[in-house]
Amino acid sequence: MSKITFYRDLYQQVEALISDEADVIANMANVSALLFEQLSDVNWVGFYRLLNEELVLGPFQGKVACIRIPLARGVCGTAAALNQVQRIDDVHSFDGHIACDARSNAEIVLPIMLNNKVIAVLDIDSIAFNRFDNEDQQGLEKIVRLFEDVMIKHGVVNL
Ligand code: SME
């Protein structure tokens, strides 16, 4: 199956799971479970919420992880501080990477916005170096935009 087809199917599954639900934490929980199940070679999928200038662990699948990450620290803190996707082929060469699971070799972190502010990040770790390419990034960005649209649809104002 091509990645384009894979992500089109995944998008539809996420849409069916979250579009009628207003509770953001419940939606984060189900999206992390779905992505963990569907993406190959991933060892951690989850959300960190940005609360008082600090990332705080949210719903996830995988090994226990660090609970609080200061803004601008690690891959997650960098994505949140810059409001920019971080796609890292080899986390060992990322200065300041926070190793929650020693098996992780590649990582992608996508900021989630509400009212023009970053309110959370989606973090996905892989055991495979170079796991995430541009097609993965584009597919995951669409899912994050859907997540944002569902929050707006349900009148969510913050986390
Ligand atoms: N590796 C991340 C920390 C979170 S864990 O991967 C779950 C980072 O450097 O921000």
Domain range annotation of the chain: 3-153
pLDDT band at 79 (very low <50, low <70, confident <90, very high): very high
Residues 6 or more apart whose CB falls under 8 angstroms from that of 123 comprise 44, 45, 46, 47, 48, 60, 75, 76, 107, 108, 109
Fold of 3-153: Beta-Lactamase (3.30.450)
Residue to mutate, 47, 49, 69, ligand 1, most ligand atoms under 8 Å from C-beta: 69
pTM value is 0.97
In tens, the pLDDT along 60-76 reads 999 999 999 999 899 99
Rounded CA separation 120/98 (Å)? 17
| Closest by CA position to 27, among listed 155, 150, 152, 158 | 150
Binding-site residues, ligand 1, Cβ < 6 A? 44, 65-66, 69, 74-77, 97-98, 100, 104, 107, 123, 125
In tens, the pLDDT along 105-122 reads 999 999 999 999 999 999
State both tokens at 57. Answer: 């662990």
Ligand 1 atom nearest to CA at 94: 9
Coil, helix or strand at residue 32: helix
Task: Tell me, rounded to whole angstroms, the distance of Cα 155 from its chain centroid.
Answer: 21
